[in-house]
Amino acid sequence: MKAHLTRRYWFAASHRLDTPKLTADENRAVYGKCNNPFGHGHNYALEVTVSGQVEAATGMICNLVDIDRTVKHHVLERFDHQNLNCVPEFREIVPTTENLCIAIFNILKRRLENTHLEKVRLEETSQNSFEVIGE
């Protein structure tokens, strides 16, 4: 039978929302406080959902240890306590939580082996969250 398993993680990072495609005034108008040149930070909560058949031999969809190791190595260790604007993924694009959610989805899609990535959900604050769902 098919089930979904979700694991929740946390990391903290800073960013500044600013795009060279807009003027300084336009950046201030679009991004407001998030355009502060010195940046600001968030405690992000990351939810990773995988899905698949529950294996009869193990009673599990996948081995949680593998998921934890992959997320820790390829996401948490790369983004935790970093300035996102300095991370390679955001050299060309703005580190909005939408783009961060897509970047994390793409990283995990590539790195998670033998597991179907169903969804990545990212909370920027307790009031804002973003989801990327695998097609």
- Residues with a catalytic annotation lie at 34, 81, 124
Q: Does 6 bind another protein (CB under 8 A)?
A: yes
Under 8 Å between Cβ of 10 and 68: no
Q: Does 29 bind another protein (CB under 8 A)?
A: no
* Of 16-24, 56-64, 70-78, 96-104: span binding another protein (CB under 8 A): 56-64
Beta bridge partners of 51: 4, 116
Tell me the closest approach of the beta carbon of residue 49 to another protein, in angstroms.
8
The yes or no reply on residue 80 touching another protein (CB under 8 A) is no
Picking from 70, 12, 48, the residue whose alpha carbon sits closest to that of residue 131 is 48
Q: Which residue has the tokens 């240890």?
A: 65
Is residue 46 classed as helix, strand or coil in its secondary structure? strand
**By the criterion CB under 8 A, which residues form the site for another protein?**
1-9, 49, 54, 57-61, 63-65
